[in-house]
Structure 1
Amino acid sequence: MSAADPRHWGQVPVFDPQSGQVVVEPTGSGKGYWVGAPGVYYDVESATFYLTYRVRRPRGVEPDRGAEIHIARSSDGIQFEEIWVGRKEELNTTSIERCVIARSDSGAWRLYVSYVDPEDARWRTDVTEANAPDAFKLADCRPVLTPAQLGVEGVKDPFLFRVGGMLHMIVSFATADQSASHDELHGTHDAYNTGLIRSRTGLATSVDGQTWNWEGEIFGPSESGWDCYCARIGSVWRQDGLWIGYYDGSADVSENYEERVGLVCGSDLHSLKRMTPDGPLMIQPNASGALRYFDVVALEDRTLIYYETAREDGSHDLRVFVAPAV
């Protein structure tokens, strides 16, 4: 259908992933050298973009896995300058994954952090506060959502937004797919990479950003499709009276870390439907085809789409594609 069709609502940007502009380069060449998992916050008061992203290296290359989380600042959403770095040693963790920065009503800055709990080896999500976006201390993190609290095997990768003043947080959470011991699930400090779980999308809500109410699953893996192992929504936005979202999908554990992008749509967050049952929405021809961790900032004059994607050598970089306003 044409983009001008007056009865085709909820059309989303579909583009060549190679055409996006590289925002951050990986630290090395080859599989396991990944930058990405972007979380983007646009501060209306200062007209400034704040970007969080994870830096990862292969296992065995110190500091390996998700060793660092960075915060960068930009006036145009394309060219960023780094202003802060947090390292996994500050949390005594084996890995940090997607984080997100936001400003509270009081003016304080908050960083929501997902990382592997050093006590039980399960992914969890915490928050830390600071008076400036370059002043966070990871050692001050306190729990927001934990696996023990939710009765799941991991909870991570927050995406934050407001609806009518109420804070909403979309997260990835893992549930056991078969009977398995704690060591089988968490011995490697990454249950998502065992093949023993299913990766789902859940929702939590909060009035103050500190205490969160778990509303449960809002989107899950398909029964037998290209996304039957992982269905992780990375971002949502409002368009034509609908909720639209990009999600990461994979068929089995062999595609963990190398997910591809799908599309969801619904009239509310509890009735999201997959719009891509037969295959990914967009194709990245490089290496594994990884195209994941989308974050969308829809402004009045343009839409900025951030994502992590595979390069020819198997590494991942972080890119932005600028599309027309939605």
Structure 2
Amino acid sequence: MSTGITTLPLPRWDESVVVVEPPGDEPGAWAGAPSSIVVDGWVYLAYRLRLPIGEGRGIANVVARSRDGVTFEPVAEVGKETFGAESLERPALVHTHDGRWRLYVSVATPGTKHWRVDLIESATPEGLATAPARTVLPGDETVGVKDPVLHHDEFGWHLWASVHPLESWDDADRMTTEYATSPDGVHWTWRGTALAGRTGEWDARGVRVSSVRVDGDEITVAYDGRATAGENWEERTGTARGKRLADGTFGELTASDGDPVASPHPPYGLRYLSLVTMPDGSDRIYYEATRADGAHNLRSEAV
């Protein structure tokens, strides 16, 4: 039974602080794509570092920790070479009920538009730096899979991932969010499309769920969207809602009305929102946003 209307806070910008700066000062240099959790009173943040195309693209995923949710110290880093990748994108950081640490890594196949998701696992967060990788969401010759968001409850493991069609090189930026379930977080069964773009709306070209909040049988998500191919990499953020079904899985999501949240700096990207509940019970959000010089930094706000 639901305990009330599910809510998910969105950025207000003026009250945000920079958590991680990008590795460069030009468009295409990014710090962001965060995934946040709290374990034993520490806030853990996984994020991606990127350089422009031709200079390295997504070079690394970093795992860092903080007591206050603002000042972080890195504890592990994995580079794209570990995965034989052309680029890395958003990681998903998970601490399992039996105390294991998992990092789900979005991996670009060299020379293609294909993406897959690999899993590294360790007894400690520091051990993620040297843990072996295995592919858990391979995609295939028709679709690429990346940017997973995970939730675990009494019904099992749930995952929402960005899926890109590969039949056309020029259209591979299009994306839907597909939903999958698993008994163990390793072996997944696809259940169908959770969210798709809306014709004529700000999210027409593609949508990507970035954060999930579950309250009983209600689910609210933050998601990235873009209207055109030209807005690739500069998506904005909106919300959508859905319900849990009788079998414990989640159904399709319905996008909320209204304008998306954006950076004040052109081309206005604000994406990959991640929500975490702090040890004191308050909420904090992390997100990637365009700054004045066109680079992206990783920002945070207390809610």
| TM-score, normalization by structure 2 | 0.90
* Matched position secondary structure for 2:171: coil
Residues 1:211 and 1:11: Cα distance change in structure 2 (over 3 Å)? closer
Q: Counterparts of 1:196 and 1:96 in 2: how far apart (Å)?
A: 17
Q: 1:55 is matched with which residue: 41, 49, 56?
A: 49
Q: Counterparts of 1:108 and 1:131 in 2: how far apart (Å)?
A: 5
Residue 76 of structure 1: how far off its partner (Å): 2.4
Q: Counterparts of 1:25 and 1:101 in 2: how far apart (Å)?
A: 20
Residue 89 of structure 1: how far off its partner (Å): 1.3
Q: Counterparts of 2:165 and 2:53 in 1: how far apart (Å)?
A: 24
1:274 matched residue in structure 2: 255
2:165 matched residue in structure 1: 175
C-alpha deviations, 1:61-110, integer Å up to 9, x for none?
A: 2xx10011111011222221111111111212110001112223332221
Q: Counterparts of 1:39 and 1:212 in 2: how far apart (Å)?
A: 20
1:28 matched residue in structure 2: 24
1:188 matched residue in structure 2: none
C-alpha deviations, 1:277-311, integer Å up to 9, x for none?
A: x531x232112100000111135621111100010
- Structure 1, unmatched stretches of 5+, are 1-7, 186-193
1:143 matched residue in structure 2: 135
1:42 matched residue in structure 2: 38
Residue 222 of structure 1: how far off its partner (Å): 0.9
1:68 matched residue in structure 2: 60
Residue 12 of structure 1: how far off its partner (Å): 4.2
1:17 matched residue in structure 2: 13
1:320 matched residue in structure 2: 300
Alignment of 1:1-326 (within 5 A): 9-43=5-39, 46-61=40-55, 64-118=56-110, 122-137=114-129, 140-148=132-140, 152-164=142-154, 166-176=156-166, 180=168, 185=169, 194-196=170-172, 198-239=174-215, 242-268=218-244, 269-276=250-257, 278-280=258-260, 282-299=261-278, 301-323=281-303
- Of structures 1 and 2, the one scoring higher in RCO (CA 8 A, sep 6+) is 2
Comparing 263-272 and 284-293, the one that deviates more: 263-272
| RMSD of Structure 2 on Structure 1 (CA) | 2.1
| TM-score, normalization by structure 1 | 0.84
Residues 1:197 and 1:79: Cα distance change in structure 2 (over 3 Å)? closer
Q: Counterparts of 2:110 and 2:292 in 1: how far apart (Å)?
A: 34
Provide the identity percentage.
34
The aligned amino acid for 1:270 is G
Q: Counterparts of 1:199 and 1:246 in 2: how far apart (Å)?
A: 15
Residue 235 of structure 1: how far off its partner (Å): 0.7
